[in-house]
Chain A
């Protein structure tokens, strides 16, 4: 079964995304910030990352940049999730190495399409 890592510091957001992802037949794991996410990614394989931008300790941009630097991890598809649809944030996300950028709150149909394309 394919596995998604949900990275967000808000508990209900993680719960919600988990529900969506599991309903679509994927497995899900959670991390509350970029450092925890990195530790999980280094220990097991994930097919896609859903990454919030604003998190303590290591934010979304920093996490994706780290991942892209690591030859073992650089291929993992990343969907960056923002609270505001700003052009600058979008550009920053792609520059950091995200594959896709979407704005919260996540709609099930959007997530379904992305998961189908990316993993």
Chain B
């Protein structure tokens, strides 16, 4: 793969692209700095805004937008996350110009019609109800709130709570959009059936027309101190309980990131979920899924381990996770495990970037974190240069069970559980 092209447009938007003509369509992924972190005290407006960007513009109604996009076979989605408001889509060479034009119209001139505001309000309220009945969602949400206290953007539910959702007014959304959605800080990553001419004519030209005086990326404060705790969420009508254990992790740009990432791979991801999967699923048969996750962002991250188990097995499963965390000290990763992990990370570059959508996501990540357009070329060397001891040390420091909170959601009954 050649190096991606990076262009800064006159309005400040950054366009990253790489041609992969064997896949005969385009996939794109982008963002503007209008996520939860930009909300301040106005909780829920980022999510609300993201859902309304397809709700009609000053020129085009929601129904006409849908007809136009689907009439040319394109897809376009907007989602809010903790740091940014993302967009992604697919189109063909022939429909790229119209698709990007519609994207720019949605980003730049949303109308926030009252009817759509109320429809989206109902949709978010219903989603909150559905998520409140989902054991896995409840466990992970409660864990994020425990790990990132005091309303830090990483711990907040992007949808906010029902009371807040009912109070959000159209003017709040208009104000948020005006302040945070514009070309400043916008990243547009695209790949597939593209060439220089198409990029300039069908993508750069419409993107350049995006105007705005947005504030650009906001500074995200480091999360406050995490005081580990245990949370039980009784949901007696469920068949299975979800366990979530976690703590704060390094940021994506922290010097230990690659060591922590490799350690997490070995602990709960590689193959059928690493050491955790072997213990809980393979050896004990306790869970269909038991894995760990490392979610790193600009100002910090979340490390978590999760498992879904029969309520009778909650204590055994928590004990199994604890054993594996303790083992990182008593039986650290072997040289063979570490070699496997490095090989996996290097090899997975080929496999994980086989689709246009995956490549677009990776291009976006390169730009968002400032990793450099040559990052993918350097990645193997970065992974290979990690010493065994660095990874073992990172595992001990980062996955310390005594620094973790524990959440159990489901038919917990009278089970008393601690990590």
Asked if chains A and B come from one complex, the reply is no
